[in-house]
Homo-oligomer: A and B are copies of this chain.
Amino acid sequence: MTASETDLRAGAITQPPIWLRDNCPCAECRDPRNGQKLFGITDLPPDLTVTNVSGTTVTYSDGHVSRFDPAFLEAQHGPDDRCEDAKRLWGSTDAPEHDWARFLSDPEHRADCLHAVMRTGFTLLHGVPAVPGTVLDVASEFGFVRETNYGELFDVRVEATPNNLAFTGLAIAPHTDNPYRDPVPTVQLLHCLSNAVDGGESGLVDGFHAAALLRAEEPDAFDLLSRTLVTFRFADGGTELVTTQPMIGLDPAGRIREIRFNNRSMQPLRLPPDQIAAFYTAYRRFAEIVTRPELMVTFRLGPGDCVVFDNTRLLHARTGFADSGERHLQGCYADLDTIASRHKVLQGQLAFARLRELFDGPGTADYLGEEVTQAQHMLQAAALAESAGASPELVVAALLHDVGHFTGPLTGAELMGGTDNRHSHVAAAWLAHWFDPAVTEPIRLHVAAKRYLCALDPAYAGLLSPASRYTLEVQGGPMTDQEVADFEAEPYADDAVRLRRWDDAAKDPSLTVPPFDHYEQRIALLARPGL
């Protein structure tokens, strides 16, 4: 690394010594297989200082040395995928709908379905065989079945001749299930086996949206419902479940994170009379919002339909119906954390599959007058990055840096014809669908890095291949002083310069390097965006 490149990063490290030491990425400090740290916080010296910083290499008073990826130091906190910030709140919405056969056979459809539950809060699956017990098969594709005192699954069956009130066709107001349980089941599935009654439509309400409306319309009521502890209880001969939680659960930053709304199991509030009165006023306001007809999505579950929904967020309801026939649902519970996990893993697998198609198809074309194909060029760049000990993000950036030649409106051939296809920007924008800036920013800047290096180092231009010297002019030539200063201010300028040097060297027809599949795990792990 040249002195000027080192200088690019000067002052980039703002974190205190203990943060740096605690987050050291070396194999002594982290299990390389799963990234889990191998020490506790008290294993680190209490009076730790940093004794030297060189680029992003940090030496501490205990003698340890950490080599950080610049992208790691720049990263920002991702959203908590369980709080309101990560959701698409809705008043009324078209129900996301998915098909069970496609779910099982088409990973894109499956990913979209999992995403709907995390982001919109539910999906309506069609084509699930109307066979008793099948709801457990569906649940196991979404996560792990949470067995309860109701069993692995429960029956919601309404007889034409009910023997008690609960089995009539009375309407059931919007509510969340099992508020008397802690942990509450975070996902519920309801699978329709038969539905021959008149009426009996299902309804869903976005409880996060309703709570956000309450916060906007009556902040004091919202505040009261998020602070007041309510006890929910269910007791029969064999069970006595009791949980005390607020109706609107917030995280410590005050964001909506969990709704418990169920008058059926709410126990008497034991508070002074004036506090009771204030609570009930707030509770009614919230209930009035929750029951606004325009906030409810309604649909009729037919045999083979299965609705999957977030029970920490959505309230579910049933309209009344006449006792004119058989209606039989089976339900079970599962958990959101596994849905989110499976969605992320699937996204990674999908990204890998999609990118491999590029390497196997258009990537086999000639690389703009070089003696290697496009795919060979990128595989060589990745191999050079890996040999240099680059971070997984930068290895993947090297591997994918030229995909803009065949994902944009203009091809590499047009670039060679004298029209800049802006392939670095095209690639970065396209890859941002899956990857963080640590991957996409070095790619976006890799053409700029050529112009930067040409401006700083006249000898560099002499090292370029003839094709690269030609495209330099199409891309704007060496940078001006102002452009150099702007480039150096980019957080990922350093990585872009490293990538550029591998790019320039990755044109050797005699080189044998690992194939695309070699990078599968790295791609799959990195290509998992938040919601």
Q: Does A270 contact B (CB under 8 A)?
A: yes
CB neighbors of B among A230-264 (8 A): 231, 233-246, 251-253, 263-264
Given contacts A273-B15, A277-B16, contact A36 B78 (CB under 8 A): no
Which of chain B's residues have a CB closer than 8 A to the CB of A36? 234, 264-265
With A16-B277, A235-B525 already in contact, 20 other A-B pairs whose C-beta atoms are closer than 8 Å: A16-B273, A18-B277, A19-B269, A19-B276, A33-B236, A35-B235, A37-B263, A41-B280, A42-B173, A72-B268, A80-B231, A80-B244, A83-B244, A146-B146, A183-B335, A229-B251, A240-B341, A240-B528, A241-B338, A242-B340
A81 to B528, CA, bound (A): 39
Q: Which of A130-138, A284-292, A462-470 contacts B (4 or more CB under 8 A)?
A: A284-292
Q: Does A14 contact B (CB under 8 A)?
A: yes
Stoichiometry, copies per complex: 2
Q: 1/0 per residue A197-220: CB within 8 Å of B?
A: 000000000000000000000000
Which of chain B's residues have a CB closer than 8 A to the CB of A244? 80, 82-83, 251
A61 to B138, CA, bound (A): 49
A243 to B209, CA, bound (A): 22
* In contact, A341 and B239 (Cβ under 8 angstroms): yes
B-contacting residues of A (Cβ < 8 Å)?
14-16, 18-19, 22-23, 31, 33-43, 46, 72, 75-78, 80-83, 144-149, 164-166, 173, 175, 181-184, 186, 226-229, 231, 233-246, 251-253, 263-266, 268-271, 273, 276-277, 280, 283-284, 287-288, 291, 335-338, 340-341, 344-345, 348, 521, 524-525, 528
A181 to B233, CA, bound (A): 25
Interface centre among A80, A231, A246 (most CB of B within 10 A): A80
Which of chain B's residues have a CB closer than 8 A to the CB of A184? 183
Q: Which of B16, B37, B284, B525 contacts A266 (CB 8 A)?
A: B37
Taking the closest CB of chain B, its distance from the CB of A377, in whole angstroms, is 28
Which of chain B's residues have a CB closer than 8 A to the CB of A236? 33-34
* In contact, A231 and B335 (Cβ under 8 angstroms): no
Taking the closest CB of chain B, its distance from the CB of A163, in whole angstroms, is 11
6 example contacts (A-B, Cβ-Cβ < 8 A) are as follows A19-B268, A19-B280, A40-B291, A78-B231, A82-B244, A149-B341
Which of chain B's residues have a CB closer than 8 A to the CB of A72? 268
* In contact, B253 and A38 (Cβ under 8 angstroms): no
Given contacts A19-B269, A75-B268, A234-B34, contact A144 B144 (CB under 8 A): no
Which of chain B's residues have a CB closer than 8 A to the CB of A239? 341, 345
Which of chain B's residues have a CB closer than 8 A to the CB of A38? 165, 264
Taking the closest CB of chain B, its distance from the CB of A180, in whole angstroms, is 8
* In contact, A31 and B165 (Cβ under 8 angstroms): yes
* In contact, A252 and B246 (Cβ under 8 angstroms): yes
Taking the closest CB of chain B, its distance from the CB of A352, in whole angstroms, is 11
Q: Which of B77, B253, B270, B345 contacts A76 (CB 8 A)?
A: B270
A235 to B526, CA, bound (A): 11
A181 to B341, CA, bound (A): 10
Which of chain B's residues have a CB closer than 8 A to the CB of A528? 240
A165 to B75, CA, bound (A): 29
A38 to B231, CA, bound (A): 17
Taking the closest CB of chain B, its distance from the CB of A60, in whole angstroms, is 14
Taking the closest CB of chain B, its distance from the CB of A23, in whole angstroms, is 5
Which of chain B's residues have a CB closer than 8 A to the CB of A273? 14-16
Taking the closest CB of chain B, its distance from the CB of A246, in whole angstroms, is 5
Q: Which of B164, B229, B336, B340 contacts A253 (CB 8 A)?
A: B229
Given contacts A234-B34, A235-B35, contact A240 B345 (CB under 8 A): yes
Which of chain B's residues have a CB closer than 8 A to the CB of A338? 148-149, 241
A234 to B336, CA, bound (A): 15
Which of chain B's residues have a CB closer than 8 A to the CB of A149? 338, 341
A283 to B16, CA, bound (A): 14
Which of chain B's residues have a CB closer than 8 A to the CB of A16? 273, 276-277, 280
A284 to B392, CA, bound (A): 31
Given contacts A36-B264, A183-B335, A238-B345, contact A41 B283 (CB under 8 A): yes
Which of chain B's residues have a CB closer than 8 A to the CB of A276? 15-16, 19
Q: Which of B229, B264, B287, B521 contacts A237 (CB 8 A)?
A: B521
